[in-house]
Amino acid sequence: LLLMTLKSNSRAITVHIFSNLSDSLRDSLATEPFDAKSSDNILTCSIIANATVDIRARWNTMMRSLIGSEEALMSGNQLGREE
């Protein structure tokens, strides 16, 4: 679920991801430059920027971070199964 809102001169995007790994995803995103929270198997990530070009750049960063975190978690799960 993706929500984009305009707040006066700023823009905000909130993404909700439904996952059994929401806590692990949140923890793996701790050092990323956006807000990530987890509750009831829902990961919520939020970004805010003053310009559309900035929100686009932050969106790209957030998506790359989410993809990388998911791939790392899945890779770890595969290693655990092979042992």
- pTM strictly above 0.95: no
Q: Count the neighbouring beta carbons within 10 Å of the beta carbon of residue 51.
A: 11
pLDDT for the residue numbered 39? 94
First to last CA, the chain: 36
Summarised one tens digit per residue, pLDDT across range 34-76 is 889 999 999 999 999 888 888 899 999 989 998 998 888 888 7
